[in-house]
Structure 1
Amino acid sequence: MPTRNHRPAGAFALLAAVAGALVAAVLGLLTFGAQATVAPESLPLAVAAPPGPLQAAAKGIASQGGDQVSWRVTSPEEGRKLLEDKEVYGVLELPVKVVVSGAVNPSGTQIAHQVLTGAAQALGRTPEVETLHPVGAAGRVVPLALSALAWVGCLAAGAALILAGRRIGREAGIFARFTQIVSAGVLVTGVLAGFLKLWDSSLPLGWDVLAFLFLISAAFAALQTGLLRLLGIRAMVILGPLYLVAPTVAGQVPELLNPAYRAVLWSWTPFRFSAEGLRSLLQGVPGAPDVATGVWVLAGLLAAGPLLAMWPGRSALQKTEADTPDRVVQVGVH
């Protein structure tokens, strides 16, 4: 007959197994599920032709593709401008030339190259391929990789501050948290810059890139510090899995993601703003719209983080309540 001491242990073991299964289900759904359901939908592409007979051929190509491709019929000059602004992922210039860009997310460039090459071959021609802002293997990986490393590095710094406060029995004050945000931003930026030069020394590392890297690191540190201040080490349950979830989603262009993943994850993940803005800077397109968008979003996180960090936590509220002199005290008479 099982004793009372055995029953709680058995129930806890069962709950632990259920928790593990739930974690596997959630992470599988949010990470590998996003990759397994990749399919093009309204992929923005352009077909460009000079005035004349080729315009009819361009319109004929634009009528193909169904819901998978969203064609725009343009002039060659406008098509390249759309590609620079990342409003399309590739251009088919008639007679037959495929134009793609290294400043576009590699997943978008790859699928655009396949679709445009197929459209050119349907005309019975083998297309010439031109790449604007050519990029190597490291250049394709670096923007998302540095964003993920910034997240992990700043998260480790924030968690260490919380654990150190618990060890000494005193919560970190506002000055300590502010110091942690700034110092983590500076030091992590140094690490990211070192990796950038180590992986591909040909990539630019000017003040604009360094400033953007610092903005990424400081914004991530501020957001994490604020959530850790409010929730304590329990915030790791939210912040930790984002390292697995967000890069998987941010590595795709939205037109390849299932609409549910696009709305629930891609629309808000901070990794896409940092990665795409950094990609444009590294490929020499500082005026691209995603650079300005990234600056605004990351600056917003940087501003919101300290506000969360200064919000009084549960322990502070309890201390204030305990120190109130006019509180009602129940006095028992024995």
Structure 2
Amino acid sequence: MFRLFLKQKMVWLGLLGIAVAVAIFTFAFMGSTTNPVPKDLPIAMVVEDAGSKTPNNKLINLGKRIEKSLGSMGELPVKWGIEASEEDARQKMDERKYYATIVLPEDLTANVMSLPTEKANIPEVKILINEGMNYTGATASKQMLEGIIMKMNNQVQQMMYAQIGKQTNVITINQAKLLANPIRTEEERMNKVGERSGNGNLPTMLTQTLWLTTFISSMILFVAMRKITHTKPRLSSIAAQLVTGVLFVGVISAVMLTIATSVLNANITDVLSLSVFVFFVGYMFFLLQNALLNWIGFAAAPIFLLLFFFSMPILSLPKEFLPSLTNDLLYSWVPFRFSVDGMRSLLFFDGYHIGAPGSVLGLIGIGSLLVMVASVLKPSKLSVKKQVTVDN
């Protein structure tokens, strides 16, 4: 019995199939995210420092020095953007162009130079963290800026120690405490992700749920259509698909957001706007899925699943953390990305710049609708068989 069992081809073909499936899924889930290394993180710098004169009447501008030194530090995975003012930097952060901003104030040098005097003013540097753009990217940017400020503190300490060494006066205890940590940091979080948002990954989680549930809906309606048409889609069956698709996607959106808000208490402030967008995205997904199903049938199902498995792990990471190959060949065009971007705009940016991802999804939906309608023109298997019989 054991030998007969092992002689079955299905056992060994199944083993080969499992090995291939494991290889595909391992690469899909881990290939682009096993060792995410940031590169070219966009961070803004605002230098408002007016400088200050030393007792020798020499002008010193620490802000300009810091700007020059940071620009020449090639080991940092940062793409610096120089902004004229804090307001300009905030505007660009709302446009999701920077993960963070460091602001060197107008009185930075003057306050640093006052440290060894009796009228010492504490220098402050401001850091703006753009959480809503991507929590992982914002956190990494924050850590880099904190490291930069630590180096600034060390440099200021050495400069002050050299200046104090030339003085005959003894510094006070308070002055010594200030020199231990001369530059203080004021941190402000912008476009906050809030609590119960999966550290800002709520758009990704909603997109995952939306794609899988619309995929199941598409398969159900496609099977129902095949039972009626038997051969190829007709205009009436496509119309039925479109109408029932509205019903299915509406139920999916309502149930998903009801559970998210009422049961899980997800951090969603504008439920109505998000509901409209979720329905819109879900229906665009539905059109895309049914366009392929109507043309190539059940062979489209593994395509949808592979697209899902390869895309979802990378959507929670900033694109600056992804390998170049993944960025160019996958992240740049997958429809999930535009869904996540649109939901991120609604959840964390009050709907600012939602038009761009919405337009792309709309074009995908229009193209898919045209492909669905065109599927009535494809030759049916029955007509092909008849043609072959006649030719013979």
TM-score range, shorter chain: 0.7 to 0.9
Supply the distance in 1 between the matched residues of 2:4 and 2:129 (Cα, whole angstroms): 69
2-structure distance, mates of 1:55, 1:196: 49
Amino acid at match of 2:361: L
Which position in structure 1 is the counterpart of 2:217? 157
What's the % identity of the aligned pairs?
Answer: 22
Tell me the TM-score normalised to structure 2 length: 0.74
Written as runs of structure 1 = structure 2, the 5 A alignment for 1:1-334 is 9-10=8-9, 12-52=10-50, 53=61, 54-66=63-75, 68-74=77-83, 75-94=85-104, 95-124=124-153, 125-139=183-197, 140-165=200-225, 170=230, 173-198=237-262, 199-200=264-265, 203-288=268-353, 291-312=354-375, 316-321=379-384, 329=390
Say whether the 8 Å CA contact 1:219–1:302 is kept in structure 2.
Answer: yes
TM-score by length of 1: 0.86
Shift of 1:313: 7.0
Shift of 1:163: 3.2
1:274, CA displacement in angstroms? Answer: 0.8
Give the residue type in structure 2 aligned to 1:96. Answer: V
8 Å contact from structure 1 (residues 47, 92) kept in 2: yes
Q: Distance in 2 between matches of 1:6 and 1:14?
A: 8
What letter corresponds to residue 86 of structure 2 in structure 1?
P
- The Cα of 1:298 is off from its aligned counterpart by 0.9
SS where residue 380 of structure 2 aligns? helix
Q: Kindly indicate whether the alpha-carbon contact (under 8 Å) linking 2:196 and 2:266 is maintained by their aligned counterparts in 1.
A: no
The 3 A distance-change label for structure 1 pair 131 and 18 is: same
Q: Is the 8 A contact 1:249 1:265 kept in 2?
A: no
The separation in 2 between residues aligned to 1:162 and 1:299, in whole angstroms, is 22
CA contact (8 A) 1:189 1:213 kept: yes
Aligned-pair distance for 1:271? 1.4
Q: Is the 8 A contact 1:90 1:100 kept in 2?
A: yes
Distance 1:68 1:191 in 2: 42
Deviation of the 1:80 alpha carbon: 1.5
SS of corresponding position for 2:31: helix
CA–CA distance in structure 2, aligned partners of residues 152 and 174 of structure 1 = 21
What SS is found at the alignment partner of 1:35? coil
Cα deviation for residue 126 of structure 1 reads 4.8
Q: Are 1:98 and 1:127, in contact at CA under 8 Å, matched by a contact in 2?
A: yes
- Which residue identity does 1:15 align to in structure 2? L
Q: Which runs of 5+ in 1 are unaligned?
A: none
Q: Aligned letter for 2:213?
A: G
Does the 8 Å CA contact 2:94/2:349 hold for their aligned counterparts? no
Instruction: Tell me how far apart the structure 2 counterparts of residues 330 and 317 of structure 1 sit (CA, whole Å).
Output: 17
CA distance in 2, matches of 1:255, 1:131: 21
1:113 Cα deviation from its structure 2 partner: 1.4
Question: Do 2:37 and 2:321's aligned partners in 1 also have CA atoms closer than 8 Å?
Answer: yes
Determine helix, strand or coil for the equivalent of 1:70: strand
Change (3 A) 1:71 1:315: closer
What are the Cα deviations for residues 90-112 of structure 1, in whole angstroms up to 9, with x where unaligned?
11122422211232111211211
Contact kept, 8 Å, 1:98 with 1:128, in 2: the verdict is yes
RMSD: 2.8
Cα offset, 1:165, TM superposition: 4.4
User: How far, CA to CA, are the matches of 1:330 and 1:100 in structure 2?
Assistant: 71
> How many Å apart are 1:236 and its aligned residue?
1.4
8 Å CA contact 1:193, 1:205 repeated in 2:
no
On the 8 A contact 2:194/2:267 being kept in 1, the answer is no
Q: Which SS does the other structure have where 2:390 is aligned? A: coil
Give the deviation of 1:257 after TM superposition. 0.5
Which secondary structure state, in structure 2, belongs to the residue aligned with residue 87 of structure 1? coil
1:67 deviates by 6.1
* C-alpha separation in 2, matches of 1:89 and 1:278: 18
Judged with a 3 Å threshold, the aligned counterparts in structure 2 of structure 1 residues 330 and 246 are, in CA distance, closer, same or farther, namely closer
Mean alpha-carbon deviation: is it higher for 77-86 or for 201-210?
201-210
Per-residue CA deviation, residues 249-283 of structure 1 (Å, 9 max, x unaligned), is 11111111011111122111211111121111112
Deviates more, 1:29-38 or 1:311-320: 311-320
CA contact (8 A) 1:37 1:257 kept: no
Aligned equivalents of 2:47, 2:27: Cα separation in 1: 43
Structure with higher Rg: it is: 2
Q: Give the superposition deviation at 1:184.
A: 2.5
Structure-2 change in CA distance of 1:280 and 1:59 (3 Å): farther
